[in-house]
Amino acid sequence: MPSLNYYVDVDDVLSETTRALARLANTRFGKAASFEAMTVFDLSISLGLDADEFPGFMAAAHEPDFLLALEPIHGARETLEDWRNRGIKISVVTGRPPECREPTQQWLEVQGFPFDELEFVDKYARFDDPRATTPADLVDRGYHAVIEDADSMAHYLALHTDAQVLLFDRPWNRESVAEASGAQRVHDWAEIRRSIPSPG
């Protein structure tokens, strides 16, 4: 029997990225945004950043020091360790720009996350590179489970793959089209472990 293959997103699934982004917007740009009020996926809207502020904010959000300082989400490392011990392939997939590969990989290793692959995917058509991996490229990867916080990606993978798609509950995905297409909302890593049947 081929190994199970689980897709695991990074930001707001393994790392508390958006909470840190809200703090960054406050300290560098004076924006008083709370995490629970960030009900729109577009950060410029959720954080109240104008067209002049947003490029500088995104540059700061992808600085290695910022990425390396992110807190891991409780229960994620232990779950991935258990999956690794069960022989499950762990495919870490992120929509970060490819130039963030080194600090992203370093963060995963420092935090003790086991993984077999780290792939940078142009999830939102933001990369200026026609060779970039796209969501369509993921359809034939044979994922058995997907854990995502971006409703658009969860929706796409629920429609186009046979994977069990879990939508990690966040303020920006409370109004979900992915759930209407079969994705299951989960609230923490304990619920993720309960939701995915153990192999064997």
Q: pLDDT-based confidence at 200, cuts 50/70/90? A: low
- 175 and 90 in one domain? yes
Per the structure, the complete domain to which residue 93 belongs is given by 5-16+71-195
Place of tokens 């930001």: 11
> Is residue 187 in some structural domain?
yes
**Are residues 177 and 124 part of one domain?**
yes
Q: Are residues 23 and 102 in the same domain?
A: no
- Quote the CA–CA distance of 51 and 25 in Å, as a whole number: 14
Please compute the mean of the pLDDT values over residues 72-96 and round it to a whole number: 96
What is the 8-class DSSP label of residue 72?
Answer: B
Residues 136-163 have a mean pLDDT of 97
Q: What is the pTM of this model?
A: 0.94
- Where residue 147 sits, what CATH number does that domain have? 3.40.50.1000
CA distance 156 to 136: 9
Q: Does residue 36 sit in the same domain as residue 75? A: no
**What does the pLDDT read at residue 109?**
98
Task: Indicate if 44 and 9 belong to the same structural domain.
Answer: no
Distance separating alpha carbons of residues 93 and 72, to the nearest angstrom: 16
**Rounded CA gap, 166 and 162, in Å?**
12
Give 173-197 pLDDT, tens digit per residue. 999 999 999 999 999 999 999 999 8
- Together in a domain, 12 and 91: yes
DSSP run (H or E) holding 108: helix 101-110
**What's the pLDDT band for 2 if we cut at 50, 70, 90?**
low
Residues 136 and 175 in one domain: yes
- Tell whether 117 and 190 lie within a shared domain: yes
Interval 18-49: pLDDT, tens: 999 999 999 999 998 889 999 999 999 999 99
Residue 11 and residue 33 in one domain: no
Q: Looking at residues 123-127, what average pLDDT do you find?
A: 86
Report the domain count for the chain: 2
